[in-house]
Amino acid sequence: MGWSAWTRASGRRVALLCLLAGAPGAVAAEETTGAALAGLLRRYDAPGGVLALSGPDGILRIAAAGLADRARGIPVTPDTRFHIASTGKMMTAVAVMQLVQAGRLALSDPALPLVDLPGAERLANLGTATVADLLSHRSGIPDCLRNAAASSARHPSPRWTVAEALTEAPCGPPTKPGAYVYSNTNYMLLGRIVERMDGTGLAEALEARIFRPAGMTATSLGADPADPAVAHGYRAPKPDGSRADASLYAYSSPLGDAPVTTTAGDLERFMTALFRRSGLLLDPALLREMLVDRAGDAEDGYGYGIMVEDSDFGPKHGHPGRLAGFRTEAWYYPERDSVVILIMNGDENTDDDVGLLLARKLLAP
């Protein structure tokens, strides 16, 4: 893939990279990024994907390969937009922390009055949960909708409103309050709180609070799978080689746990705005609060909407996402001042630490 393929996606940065494209270091970086993406697509049998890397030099290197739409033969490009599943939880969390910064919320506030939704009290442990409990997955509230049947004869549509999800959707069992147990319902509730506090839909709230300040011009909540610039999400292959297209379910989500459709370039802009441009989205002291591991003895460290883990390359901060034929990895490595982004449009249901695999391929020892 030539660098000219992503001129539109990278704006100012591409001008510098084009000047360097003939240099051995730039060529090596291009080959490394492209080879890493090709290997991951083979490993996980994904139809297509985008891999992005930015380091201390500020240059954004992007590789794109495969198909965004198998039926129409549309290739993935650096401008292709993907559903990023739970990676979007970081944006919901930042919006909540901005409300805390403005003094309109406190982390210790009880969640139920802020949700203010008749019928939501059916959710076990919501009556005792605080905003901090929701952010850190320590509420004990059951996981609803995402890990249960998403449609039924009573609700045949793939699109659930937040009110429907919180009052009608099937749920798993509750867990012990105070213990870390990942539950998507926590972030559906947080999305509802942001909507109520801002007096607008979550799409408008995130546009004003996150997308516009970070320069994310290709980002939205939801998308139309018929748009040729939008990737389709595919389930794992069946024995006959066919793959179910799950795009409609993913792109119909208006909920705070998995709301965002974006490009790899825009996702890198978010990570840069949050972790590298101090104070742009959030006061540094509150960002530090987000990065405190509150998951106890759990294998995965978790703060407020951000996973905080150790790696071979020092700490890594970010969030993976997996839903309806899409897989995303978005990580910042502060000791390397590097951001690594991977978005694929195929199910990846392994125990691999995909973020660590990426780092080992892309970050110098």
pLDDT higher than 90, residue 232: yes
The amino acid sitting at 102 is A
pLDDT higher than 50, residue 46: yes
- Residues 228, 218 contacting (CB under 8 angstroms): no
pLDDT higher than 90, residue 347: no
For the domain bounded by 85-222+239-269+281-306, which CATH number is listed? 3.40.710.10
CATH 3.40.710.10 domain position(s) in the chain:
85-222+239-269+281-306
pLDDT higher than 80, residue 56: yes
Q: Tokens for 201? A: 């839909």
Q: What is the pLDDT of residues 131-180, one digit of tens each?
A: 999 999 999 999 998 765 555 545 556 788 999 999 999 999 999 999 99
Other beta carbons within 10 Å of 228: 10
The closest alpha carbon to 263, from 70, 71, 73, 64, belongs to 64
- Which pLDDT score is estimated for 152? 52
Going by C-beta distance under 8 Å and a sequence separation of 6 or more, which residues neighbour residue 237?
Answer: 45, 243
- Residues 36, 52 contacting (CB under 8 angstroms): no
Round the average pLDDT of the chain to a whole number and report it: 89
3-class secondary-structure state, position 341: strand
The closest alpha carbon to 77, from 174, 7, 173, belongs to 7
For the chain, percent of residues with pLDDT exceeding 90: 75
The closest alpha carbon to 163, from 239, 255, 53, 29, belongs to 255
- Which pLDDT score is estimated for 29? 58
- Residues 14, 67 contacting (CB under 8 angstroms): no
- Residues 311, 335 contacting (CB under 8 angstroms): no
pLDDT higher than 70, residue 299: yes
- Which pLDDT score is estimated for 20? 30
